[in-house]
Structure 1
Amino acid sequence: MSKKPKKKTGKTISKNTKAKQARRKKWRVLFWKLALVLVVLFAGFTLYLDSVIQSKFKENRWQLPARVYAQSLELANGKPMTPTRLRQELELLGYRKVVKATRQGDYENYKGSFFIHIREFQFWDGQQESLPVSFSIKSGRVSELKNRESGKTLQMARLDPLLIGQFHPNRLEDRILVHSDDVPEHFKQALLTVEDRAFYEHSGVSPKAIMRALWHNVTSDGRSQGGSTITQQLVKNYFLTNDRTLWRKFKEAIMSVILEVRYEKDDILQAYYNEVYFGQDGGRAIHGVGLASQYFFDKRVRDLTPAQSALLVGMLKSPSGYNPRRKKEAALKRRNQVLKLMYDQKHLTEQEYQQQRETTLSVVNKPELKLSRVPAFMDLVKRRLQDSYSEDELKSEGLRIFTTLDPVMQRYTEGKVATTLTRIEKSKGIDDDSLQTAVIITSSQTGNILALVGDRYTDKAGFNRAIDAKRQIGSVIKPYVVLAALEKSSQYDLATIISDEPLSLKQRDGTLWQPRNYDRENHGQVPLFVALMKSYNIAMARLGQQVGIDTVADFIGQAGVDGKVRALDALPLGVLELTPIELAGLCQSLASGGLKIKPEAITAVTDNQGELLERYPIESERIASELNTYLVKAGMQLVVEKGTARYLHNQNPFTKFAGKTGTTNDLKDSWFAGFSGEHLAVVWVGRDDSTEANITGSSAALPVFTDIFNGLPTETLQLGYEENIEWKLIDSDSGLLANDHCEESVEIPFIRGTAPTEYANCEPEEAEESFFGL
């Protein structure tokens, strides 16, 4: 007989219930402990990832380098301009010549009439909005400048300046970092349309995009689709690897959210622009839209067309698969797909879509990727800025530097330097590529540096001869010896007689110094203007002794030479070492009428928001009277018209220049310094190793100067009327007033009341006896 089970009492039930509750409580406690641990671990991991993101951004990887701009071309009624000069500027700026200019960066040109849709730009003195202007060029000057839309007459309009270089965080890095403002709107529209239409809506990760991609991948015929946002792509490309693991995707999602919390959308987009991968150039990766734009189209990002933007965006899916140089058909098809998407999203009109779709890929042959277009000028700008800004500030804070460089003049000068030196070497039997040069062109009145060449090979960075090559300047110094004499005593004028007879001067070591003329001849008693015009060494050495070598040295120092000028007997013949830029500063005081003006390369510096940080105004100091400087300028005009620089006048007879050649005794260095009414230029030619090159100022530096200004429009030098100046016809032999029989007479200026009053004793030539002896 089986036993009946015992009936559970209330006491037993209570025990079991309590045990179960205890176990549940234990599991709950364990669960919450584990959850807390996981939360702590997750929080710690998140904080770690946050620190990784912040530290990476703080490395300045995406912080912007300083951007350096050339001067902007200003248009104003009456301003000198030629259609060729204007078209060259528009070409450099990437403006598009079209039939109907409807967008910023377009222009029309019908004979002498222009319509330009000027781009908006943040200048150092304020924001300039996009401006449609129309004008004509008549008789070499701008006229009828108007706002094309309103018809209003404009006082002035200026084109956006050319970006000529940047100071990169890492000079070895193959990137051209860009700011969001540099990227055209159509590139941004193409990118967001193709890669992340909800970019401004999601928080780093888009669940909707992920689900859409999963569904597509499951239902499609093997063609996969990604669901990553632009933020996720940026995180993967910069912070993570390309491993296809859940762990990497997990980190990517967390870091994307952190990135969105820490930084603005536009900051993320700007970082993406500079990080995105566009393929390989051999062993070198092409990162960033800035470098890709130059690499494929040889142009700046801001100048991309919608079709070019569509091609670059289309390449992101497969840079090698859509490489336009190797797979043209695939690249063209992909580009047109992107254009269609842009049209569907109403980013392009039907007309724009059809026009862009019909264009070719327009990919250039592989260009040489350069860090700077004008390395010598950029070197000068950087040195100038280092007085006020640290290396980090220049390379990371997005400073905007506005300079004085004239890009058209710079390009033209570079071309002439190369061809002229080659011609000189060939004509004089000099070894090929053995001559070097430096050229500086400034505004003759302001000292602003308009062009600068520091190497025969103008795109080559390295030794900057314009700034660093110190050489004896030879006879270029002679106008300052004359000016020192005029400043010291009223007994001197351009007709003062100076002896060009042999001179011996005892030196401190007991030796005798005996200067000689280049032609090895002595010329007796000569007027001062002839000694300057013909560059007579003995006469100038004697003038230096009469004025006082200490006086001459002090005056040259005050006129613009940094450091003490040594008072040597040979100083009046140019025994003084200067760099080309130092000589340009010295000559500036002659061109500007006696004002010491330091050549300047920078106009202003702003921060990356356009706030003005520093202006670089023109500073001047009078070192000589206007009247005495007037006399010396007239003497230097004679050097060009009748003296050692007459080659310039022969080649360019309709433009008046003042100038002076310079040659060292051993024919190592050739100099020419000259100026018109608008420009001043200094040219040096020689060899880096200072060996004899058998060149003079007239045979090397002068031809370079002449070739440059033969094709460079410049205002003629007009001395103009001065109330206290009077002009007299002077006999070149005696320095006295010329009569009707003086064959060698020249019109010379004098300070009123100082001109000679006696006439030269020029006898008429005896008439030849007739055949009959009558």
Structure 2
Amino acid sequence: MPKPKKSGKKRKRGSPSRRAAPASKRKRRSSRKFSFSRLLLIASAIGFAALLAAFLIIDRRVSKYLLSSRPESSPVVYSDAYWINGRLPISAASLVEQLKARNYVLTSSPSSSGEFSQKGDSFKILTREFRGADGSVSKPLKVSLDLASRSIEIDGHAKTTRFALEPQVVATLGQSNVRIANRRSLSDFPAYLLDAVLAIEDERFYTHFGIDLWGIARAMLENIKAMRWAQGGSTITQQLAKNVFFSPKRKLSRKIMEALAALSLERQLPKQRILELYMNEVYLGQEGLVAIHGFPQAAKSFFGKDLSELTLAESATLAGMVQAPSLLSPRRYPKRTLARRNLVLERMYQLGKIALEEIGPAKLETLRVIPSTFINRRSPHFTVSLQKELANFIDLDAALRAGVKIYTGLDLHLQGCAERAVTHGLEELDRRYPRLRRQAGKLEAGLVALEPFSGKVKAWVGGRDYAANQFDHVSQGVRQIGSTIKPFLYLAGLDPSINRKWPLTPITVLHDEPISITLPSKQKWSPENFDKKFRGDVTLRYALEQSLNIPAVEAATKMGLGPFVELLKKLEIASKVSAVPSLALGALDTTPLQLTAGFGAIANGGLYVKPRMFVSIMDDAGGINITSPIVERKVAGPAASYVLTNIMQGVIERGTGKGVRKLGFSGQAAGKTGTSNDERDAWFVGFTPALAAGVWVGFDDNRRVGLTGGAAAVPIWTEFMQCASNALPAYEFIPPRDVAFLNVDSSTGELASPSCPEESLVKEVFIASSAPKRVCRVHGRGAVYAPQIEEHEQRENKREKGFWEGLFG
């Protein structure tokens, strides 16, 4: 069947297949286009308003930061000033170390502050002006010092014998981490370093307005080619904004805020000021949880140099690290660092910043990076504990925003001594006792040193490796103290104002024989000595020197536990003290900080001084906002404290702490070893006339160490004290007025008469009011004799004969 023909003319190609749309439809289409354009316009207006509002908020924030919290005055922790007395012994090496630690420059002829010259033991030093912890300003001084003859002239005058070197920066406190920075003015930065940074990070810094549009476009192109985030287009101003105001997370919103902050910074500051802030603020690496900020500190941390000492190659190395401090760390990835350094050098050459003859030698220069000792020297455990302590005194958040200077008593030389002693001591224990290395967790240690008369913390090592273990064994490690408690027991017994029931003297006879005590629970307790042996009758001196347990229990029970417990509470050794017989043997838990402060009271003549983590908090203008006063409390008499000190010197000379002498420390010192039950904790706490220090060694999970305090803790304490004594005056223990040095007849234990043979004489120290009055019955017929009080060193008896001679042996 044929198809019907189509009617009408054939339609031309391209002609409409339908009739023209009615006018109403055209109106609707036009209305939709208008609505879309209007929405787009409204959205743009809202976006612009939001950006403007965000800019105004950020601009106000930047203004407030720049006006009331200048970056150069952000919260900085300072060490103690270093005082030098030209009339007291100090080694040339120690003095040079202190000067170089403060960036003093050695020169043949000092002409400006911060310079010194040395010829053997003779020094000329031009000190710097600085503000001390008390707010006073120390003016620059011209010092001529001869260590050999102990002569000193200050500003041409020989009457003044002391001067101080300025405190050192310990750390900068941040809201989320511990930082270290060492801020300098732009003129202090070498041209090489500035050129290197600008060449690799922002070559158009002086021409853009905070945002480099050309740099952003170039970075986007590179990222598209690499199909990943390969480059950033951030300017130096944007990087500064990121470091100061924002987190390092890569988010679009953060990048926008960063750009707005950069515009605000450019609006409010000249280019030179922005560059100075950047050079001091830029993040350049992390060591443990301590962040390194700024090129001045990076130069010291990685190369051990001041900015002025950096070579071209070292400047290029530091500049290259900015892109990725962790991935370009010269210690961890030296090959990457060298490649990046050479790229920086090439870029500097291309921009005409260095000549052809400079780039070659710089590329060939060996990368010499100093060992990572930064964390050890800067005491991160102390800094974290300090931040917690400050929260008890100030609004820490406000202080972090406003910027304050926090002055401490820390001595960075002693801090270095302490860190090295802990590191070497634990490594040596691991080497000598392989079983310790095979344990699940590493052997740990804590060391703290205090100035007895001021309570200042001079050194603080919370553990062997802060990066691996942030637990602070100095202030958080509550452990059983063992025999380190015995000095406090005997202090209570020796002091007649504390113990009126059964006064003790160094020659009091105690019984070292089997003993059984019935406890309140009706159980029997039979203490033993560490070596399971009994020695019969012994003197108090011998019992403490040899750390005998049974005589200590006898002394505690006869004089009563009450005075002993009260003394421990006054010393703040522990918050809770139970009056039980085992307390005499160290059944008490405390921290190295609290225990060392207690020993400091003995060194300070019976005056307990609460440990001070800081001395003062000061604002930018030098006004003192808060001081940490010396909080002291008399806990015992100076005579009893001195007698006990004299006995504790015997611990080091011939007792359980004699390893101190065997290891080479020859200065005056007193101390006591301690070992807890089952040898889980090893202690040694001791003091010189100028410094008290305590060492604890053990495992965090309270596993058995299997070593005594003499074997594990004494070597660490000794190494620390040997190092520390190089920077401390050689003081001596000075006996107070009411102390008597008397000759005792060792065959009778009574005062020696003029008739007693010389070979039986032993010199002993007593509180004058408690000294024996009866003369030797064998040679002096039992007369009452008023002895002459002598104040000189005790002489060791070398001849043993009879019962009393054994007691004094």
TM-score > 0.5 by shorter chain: yes
2:84 corresponds in structure 1 to: 75
Secondary structure of the residue aligned to 1:88 is helix
Shift of 1:309: 9.7
Matches within 5 A, 1:214-293: 258-259=264-265, 268-269=274-275, 271-273=277-279, 289-290=294-295, 293=298
TM-score calculated relative to the size of structure 2: 0.71
Instruction: For 2:339 and 2:368, locate their aligned partners in 1 and report how far apart those are by CA, in whole Å.
Output: 13
Any residues of structure 2 matched to 1:434-445 within 5 Å, and which?
Answer: 434-445=442-453
Counterpart of 1:185 (choices 185, 188, 194) is: 188
CA distance in structure 1 between the partners assigned to 2:776 and 2:589 by the alignment: 42
- CA positional deviation for 1:563: 1.7
1:573 aligns with 2:579: no
Q: Alpha-carbon deviation of 1:748?
A: 2.7
Q: What is aligned with 2:741?
A: 727
1:601 match:
613
Match of 1:325 in 2: 338
Q: AA paired with 1:417?
A: V
**Hey, what does 2:388 align to over in structure 1?**
383
Of residues 763, 772, 776, the one that matches 1:759 is: 776
Check whether the contact 1:203–1:257 (CA below 8 A) recurs between aligned residues: no
Is residue 2:553 matched to residue 1:541?
Answer: yes
Aligned mates of 2:297, 2:526 — CA distance in 1:
64
Q: From the superposition, tell whether residues 370 and 110 of structure 1 become closer, same or farther in structure 2 (CA, over 3 Å).
A: closer
In the TM superposition, what is the alpha-carbon distance from 1:689 to its structure 2 partner? 2.2
Which residue does the alignment assign to 2:462? 454
Q: 1:502 aligns with which of 503, 514, 533?
A: 514
Residue type of the alignment partner of 2:386: V
CA distance in 2, matches of 1:292, 1:583: 35
TM-score computed with the length of structure 1 as normaliser: 0.74
Q: Does the CA contact (< 8 Å) of 2:301 and 2:374 recur in 1? A: no
Closer, same or farther in 2 for the Cα pair 1:510/1:138, shift >3 Å? same
1:157 and 2:174 correspond: no
Distance in structure 1 (CA, Å) of the matches to 2:350 and 2:624: 44
Contact 2:209 2:266 in 1 (8 A): no
Residue 490 of structure 2 is matched in structure 1 by: 482
* Counterpart in the other structure of 2:26: none
Q: Deviations over 1:298-321 (max 9, x none)?
A: 458766659689758987999999
Question: Does 1:404 pair with 2:409?
Answer: yes
* Partner residue in 2 for 1:468: 476
Pairing 1:92–2:101 present: yes
Shift of 1:258: 4.7
Question: Gapped runs of 5+ residues in structure 2?
Answer: 1-42, 200-205, 214-233, 249-254, 329-335, 781-798, 802-809
Q: 1:325 Cα deviation (Å)?
A: 2.5
Q: Partners in 1 of 2:509 and 2:247 — Cα distance?
A: 84
Q: Confirm or deny: 8 A CA contact 1:473 1:662 kept in the other structure.
A: yes
Q: Does the CA-based 8 Å contact 2:240-2:281 persist in structure 1?
A: yes
1:133 paired with 2:142, answer: yes
Which range moved further: 331-340 or 543-552?
A: 331-340
CA contact (8 A) 2:597 2:611 kept: yes
The alpha carbon displacement at 1:570 in A equals: 0.9
| 1:178 CA displacement | 5.0
In the aligned structure 1, how far is the partner of 2:51 from the partner of 2:766? 86
Secondary structure in structure 2 of the residue aligned to 1:431 = helix
Following superposition, the deviation at residue 672 of structure 1 comes to 1.3
Could you give the per-residue CA deviations for residues 130-154 of structure 1, whole angstroms, max 9, x where no partner exists? Answer: 836333242485x32434xx78976
Letter in 1 for 2:464: R
Q: Give 1:591 shift.
A: 0.5
Partner of 2:437: 432
Give the RMSD, CA atoms, in angstroms.
5.1
Q: Which residue of the partner structure matches residue 17 of structure 2?
A: none
AA paired with 1:146? I
1:378-401 residue CA offsets vs partner (Å, 9 max, x unmatched): 123122212023442354332221
- Residue among 661, 667, 671 paired with 1:649: 661
CA contact (8 A) 1:122 1:610 kept: yes
Distance between the aligned counterparts of 2:256 and 2:696, measured in 1?
64
**Same amino acid, percent of matched pairs:** 24
SS in 1 for 2:436: coil
In structure 2, relative to structure 1, the CA distance for the partners of 1:422 and 1:467 (3 Å cut) is same
**For 1:602, what is the secondary structure of its paired residue?**
coil
1:415 aligns with 2:432: no
**Stretch deviating more after TM superposition (365-374 or 394-403):** 365-374
Q: CA deviation at 1:402?
A: 1.4
SS, match of residue 531 in structure 1: helix
**Which secondary structure state, in structure 1, belongs to the residue aligned with residue 615 of structure 2?**
strand
- In the alignment, is the contact (CA less than 8 A) between 2:186 and 2:276 conserved in 1? no
Do the aligned partners of residues 369 and 391 (structure 1) sit closer, same or farther apart at CA in structure 2, a change above 3 Å counting? Answer: farther
**Whole-angstrom distance in 2 between the partners of 1:429 and 1:250:** 57
Task: Name 1:19's counterpart in structure 2.
Answer: none
Deviates more, 1:536-545 or 1:44-53: 44-53
Does the CA-based 8 Å contact 2:183-2:294 persist in structure 1?
Answer: no
Indicate how the Cα distance of structure 1 residues 312 and 336 shifts in structure 2: closer, same or farther if over 3 A, else same.
Answer: farther
Deviates more, 1:402-411 or 1:420-429: 420-429
Q: Distance in 1 between matches of 2:242 and 2:490?
A: 71
Q: 1: CA distance between counterparts of 2:79 and 2:542?
A: 42
Give the CA deviation at 1:557: 0.9
Residue identity matched to 1:382: Q
SS at match of 2:388: helix
Change (3 A) 1:710 1:140: farther
- 1:545 Cα deviation (Å)? 0.8
> What is the deviation of 1:497?
2.2
Tell me by how many angstroms 1:518 deviates.
Answer: 2.1
From the superposition, tell whether residues 579 and 502 of structure 1 become closer, same or farther in structure 2 (CA, over 3 Å): same
Which of the residues 703, 715, 724 maps onto 1:703?
715
CA gap of 1:743–1:305, structure 2 versus 1, over 3 A, is same
Q: Distance in 1 between matches of 2:602 and 2:322?
A: 62
- Shift of residue 754, structure 1, vs aligned partner: 2.6
Partner SS for 1:570: helix
Are 1:483 and 1:632, in contact at CA under 8 Å, matched by a contact in 2? yes
Q: Quick one: distance in 2 between partners of 1:555 and 1:95?
A: 47
